[in-house]
């Protein structure tokens, strides 16, 4: 199957998401929250390493609830806060994407059953009933699972890369520019795989 036809099928399946777009947007927001925690964790690690190198910088200033804490007190609290932040985002992202997935399964089964009801009787004489039941129960679930899993990976991991790249640009704008050349080369090498 060519990439173009696979993309058409995938976009056709995404058309079934329209009735569930509200839940889908909540799940994307959850994945944004999850992905935003990665640069936070990188910032905590930078603060930790900077504090080990220069202990005078190891006291937090101007951060509510952490103001005046030293390195050994602040880092564990910040890591726990980031874990809670990411856990909340992951929960909302996965929960609402699962709700969308169940809605897609329901909609696809109804559409398939409606199509089966319109077929002529001779078609049913030539096809195995077990295969029909398998298509309605198992195949629909597998297709929907593949679609939602792909969406989850692309959105969550893609946003994580974008947020981390933004953090790199914020920390040192020259470093990511140097690595952009090899990164684009790798991207063009793996793009035909999809």
Distance CA 174, CA 183 (A): 15
Structural domains in the chain, sorted by start: 3-116+130-193 (1.20.1560.10)
Task: Calculate the average pLDDT of the chain.
Answer: 80
C-beta separation of 100 from 22 below 8 A: no
pLDDT in tens, 9-45: 777 777 778 888 899 999 999 999 999 999 998 888 8
Which distant-in-sequence residues (6+ apart) come within 8 Å of 113 by Cβ? 136
Residue 149 confidence class, pLDDT cut points 50, 70, 90: confident
Query: Is the Cα torsion angle 42, 46, 47, 48 positive or negative in sign?
Result: positive
CA 100 to chain centre: 14
Q: Which among 164, 184, 28, 140 is positioned nearest to 95, based on CA atoms? A: 28
Is 186 in a helix, a strand, or coil? helix
Of residues 146 and 82, the one with the higher pLDDT is 82
Confidence band for 85, pLDDT divided at 50, 70 and 90 = very high
CA–CA separation, 72 and 51 (whole Å): 10
Q: How many helices (H) and strands (E) does the chain have?
A: 7, 0
Rg of the chain on CA atoms, in Å: 24
Neighbours of 10 (CB within 10 A): 13
Q: How many CB atoms lie under 10 A from the CB of residue 92?
A: 19
pLDDT beyond 90 at 48: no
Euclidean distance between CA atoms 61 and 70, whole angstroms: 10
pLDDT surpassing 70 at residue 95: yes
What per-residue confidence (pLDDT) applies to 89?
95
């Amino acid at each position: 199957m060519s990439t173009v036809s696979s993309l058409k099928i995938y976009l056709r399946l995404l058309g079934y998401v329209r009735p569930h777009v509200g839940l889908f947007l909540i799940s994307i927001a959850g994945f944004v929250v999850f992905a935003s925690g990665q640069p936070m964790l990188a910032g905590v690690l930078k603060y930790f390493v900077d504090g080990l190198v220069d202990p005078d910088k190891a006291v937090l200033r101007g951060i509510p609830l952490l103001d005046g804490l030293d390195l050994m007190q602040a880092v564990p609290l910040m890591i726990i806060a980031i874990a809670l932040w990411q856990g909340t985002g992951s929960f909302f992202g996965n929960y609402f994407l699962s709700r969308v997935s169940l809605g897609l399964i329901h909609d696809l089964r109804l559409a398939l059953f409606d199509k089966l009801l319109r077929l002529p009787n001779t078609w049913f004489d030539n096809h195995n009933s077990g295969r029909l039941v398998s298509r309605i129960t198992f195949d629909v679930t597998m297709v929907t699972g593949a679609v939602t899993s792909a969406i989850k990976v692309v959105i969550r991991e893609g946003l994580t890369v974008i947020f981390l790249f933004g953090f790199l640009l914020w920390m040192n704008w020259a470093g990511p520019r140097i690595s952009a050349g090899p990164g684009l080369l790798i991207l063009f090498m793996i793009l035909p795989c999809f």
